[in-house]
Amino acid sequence: MDVYQRPYDPKKPMICIDETNKQLIKQTRLPCAPGQPAKVDYEYERVGVADIFMVFEPLVGRRETLVTQTRTALDFAHVLKYVWGVMYSSVDRIVLVIDNLNAHRVGLLYLAFCVEEAHRLVNRFEWYYTPVHGSWLGMAGVEIGVMCRQAFEVSLGGLESFEAKVKVGLYSEITVVLKLIGDLLLRLRESN
């Protein structure tokens, strides 16, 4: 928890990463005519699974979601490379808060990349793991829960449709709330 108490440092941002998957389903019932009551049917067509990696910087309310077809250690390694090379390429170091999933081990980067690239990635991050039975302390997981409850109550369709829904940010009001929370935390730290 001490890592969450640090003051904001734009050259050393704290980010949280977590992932989840969602079953992609398409409703098979034809929609009702306009003005008719909605009908719910339990019959659907399964069109696959999508995996969501949530990259979340809680102190500024910044989030990015990456949608993949799998959720493996190699996928996680590529997410870290994306975070370092695209999202935070100008920072000195990244404070990384992740859960204890077996795919989140430093050594797995050496399976995904050449030794030099893996070594650069390992040293670019300052690694912090949530307690074994405390993955709920990872703020990216909380963010995923909010996103899933607000944005995915409807049929998700195929992977392209799902990715579009995630990217459009059907839950953009969350950013405002989390930014306010982040600002409040900063003010509380400064007053102590």
Secondary structure (H, E, C), 74-143:
HHHHHHHHHHHHHHCCCCCCEEEEECCCHHHCHHHHHHHCCHHHHHHHHHHEEEEECCCCCHHHCHHHHH
pTM above 0.75, yes or no: no
Q: Where are the domains of the chain?
A: 2-26+43-183
pLDDT digits (tens, 9 = 90+) for 101-126: 766 678 888 988 999 999 999 999 99
What's the fold here for domain 2-26+43-183? Nucleotidyltransferase; domain 5 (3.30.420)
pLDDT reported for residue 33: 82
pLDDT reported for residue 63: 83
Q: Does residue 95 carry a pLDDT above 90?
A: yes
pLDDT reported for residue 2: 80
